[in-house]
A and B are shown apart, each in its own frame.
Chain A
Amino acid sequence: NAGVMQNPRHLVRRRGQEARLRCSPMKGHSHVYWYRQLPEEGLKFMVYLQKENIIDESGMPKERFSAEFPKEGPSILRIQQVVRGDSAAYFCASSPTGGGNEQYFGPGTRLTVT
């Protein structure tokens, strides 16, 4: 079974550009979560999505950040007009159902804003 896949693994953007991070959950998983880890800090929850629905976006910055999980295809975390402070590792996790099931994490996308 393939695990959670994220691409690209490394992404470099100049200030003001857009960043698109993709996450393909494990087969059979319909729940996706995004977390961010700033340099030398812990992981922070950003958003929880099911297919075509945002369930919890309490950790998403109010501006420039958006996420989707369409009926077909991967989940996308989109950051518009990136700034240096967006440089971080972005991790995606998936689980087969909501609730107490464990979440399986991908390898992350490391975003560097120059």
Chain B
Amino acid sequence: DAKTTQPTSMDCAEGRAANLPCNHSTISGNEYVYWYRQIHSQGPQYIIHGLKNNETNEMASLIITEDRKSSTLILPHATLRDTAVYYCIVRLFGNKLVFGAGTILRVKS
């Protein structure tokens, strides 16, 4: 599975959009981009995933660049409860998730 690079931490004001970047320059054509988050010490929570097209669900939007070398997770209206570690994972159609260090997102009032 391709390696990902994410900023160590980010701050976001409550109510504003949080844009979390991820670089995956070695991604191959059949690898998906997944986003998970871990709030405090809870189990990771699935957020969204995509292959080529942009995706949106009730939690977030995922924007993947045309060359697929990077992506951005967007939380449209961040709340204090969105404070968490966010993991960008690139994954073949295999089954294990390889977690990196992720981005610590702090939402501040």
Q: Which residues of A contact B (CB under 8 A)?
A: 4, 31, 33, 35, 42-45, 48, 55-56, 58-59, 89, 91, 93, 95, 98-100, 102-108, 110
Contact = CB atoms under 8 A, between A and B. Distances in A.
27 contacts: A33-B97, A35-B97, A35-B99, A42-B100, A43-B38, A43-B44, A43-B99, A44-B99, A45-B98, A48-B96, A58-B96, A59-B96, A91-B43, A93-B44, A95-B95, A100-B32, A100-B49, A102-B46, A103-B46, A103-B97, A105-B44, A105-B46, A106-B43, A107-B42, A107-B43, A108-B41, A110-B41
Question: Which label, helix, strand, loop or mixed, suits the secondary structure of the B interface?
Answer: loop
Contact of A55 (B93, B95, B100, B101): B95
A50 B61 CA distance: 32
